[in-house]
Amino acid sequence: MNSTVPTSDNEEQFEGKWVCQIMTAEGVIGVLGNLLVCFVILRAKCLHNLTNYLLVNLAVADMLLCLHAFIYYLVTAEGCALISFVPASQGGRQIFCRLLASRFSVRALSYASAYNLCVVTLERYVAIVHPLQYERKLTATRMKTLITLIWMISFVLSLPILFTIYPSDDPEQACSEITYPHQMFPLILNIGSFILGYLVPVTSMSLAYYKMQVTLKRQAKALRLQQAREAAYDLVIARQRLVSVLTIVLGAFVILLTPGFVTYLLCLHPTANGPFSFCASKYYRYTREICNLAYYLNSVINPIIYEFKYKKFRKALKSAFCSCFKKHNRNRVDIAMVPL
């Protein structure tokens, strides 16, 4: 009996290390991919429009979420952190426990990512379904105010999580265990997160994209019957392609986030108090880790979708790197021709 305990612990720790390695790699890829999206859109003048600026804002939220995943699974994740790190100062422990170990940042950035995707949808919805009201409703000032409110609301909704963990008095341990002020607290927290961070955004965006698809098909059909100019028909086709890209982004959001929300609703923390025996088993822990992988993958996959499905972005990406390469080569030639 005694000889098997260390083996089991070692096996769990080994599995945990693999999870953390995958998560940190996923975080690095996500940061680089979303940083690339920001670079390409801001550099390519052909992408300088409101829709793509909103995509930059979405990429920033996803990039910060991936950065959080990298740091959390590198130094904080329970049982599988790759680096042992305990802040020395009390202030450092407060920041470490409240913002990182409590998962406050990940929940706030998740809200921000979902709501920024809603703003992208709103902009396309008004442009396609209500084009005559576009310039009046979506002014630059209103959009900046809306984006600012989204970021503020995302962090305000996540504030209760700050008070579920505290710095530890043990010098070898950074934070205390997660505790809730009331047994209903995790239930309210998870249901609220499901409604505000998943159900409301998915429902509203699905209805909006359905309405946009119907409107675009009707416009394309009318233009074909009227034998309209090719430029007008091409504009409708371009809008259809962009809406298709954003629909795929929404589909990835639904597919990758649904298992995690369902799992957390079924098995509330702590797992031993879950309503099902599955919640107290090791299979729940494996399921939760897989759901976490899918959860962060949602923030990694958007740049890949843009590359394969967003034709205008793909052209801008090639143009940006080709121009950088040519400029670099030109500088090398100029330096080589300077006499010593």
- The verdict on residue 329 lying in a domain is no
pLDDT in tens, 160-178: 888 888 887 777 777 877 7
- Does residue 164 lie within any of the structural domains? yes
Mean pLDDT of the chain, nearest integer: 81
Helix spans in the chain (H)? 4-43, 50-75, 90-95, 104-129, 134-137, 140-157, 185-194, 200-226, 230-266, 282-309, 311-337
Our count of domains for the chain comes to: 1
> Does residue 32 fall inside a structural domain?
yes
Q: In 3-state terms, what secondary structure has residue 265? A: helix
Winning range, highest mean pLDDT, from 156-165, 201-210, 267-276, 281-290: 201-210
4 found inside a domain: no
Classify residue 337: in a domain, yes or no. Answer: no
Most confident residue range from 5-19, 39-53, 142-156, 323-337: 142-156
Q: Between 340 and 214, name the one with better pLDDT.
A: 214
Q: Cα(331)–Cα(325) distance, rounded to whole angstroms? A: 10
Residue 77 lies in a domain: yes
pLDDT in tens, 184-209: 887 888 888 899 999 999 999 999 99
Residue 200 belongs to domain with CATH number: 1.20.1070.10
Q: 270 pLDDT exceeds 70?
A: no
- The string of DSSP codes covering 290-319 is HHHHHHHHHHHHHHHHHHHH-HHHHHHHHH
Q: Domain range holding 112?
A: 11-314
Is position 332 within any domain?
no
Mean pLDDT over residues 52-80, rounded?
88
Q: Is residue 324 part of a domain?
A: no
Cα–Cα distance between 14 and 7 in angstroms, integer?
10
Place of tokens 């009201």: 133
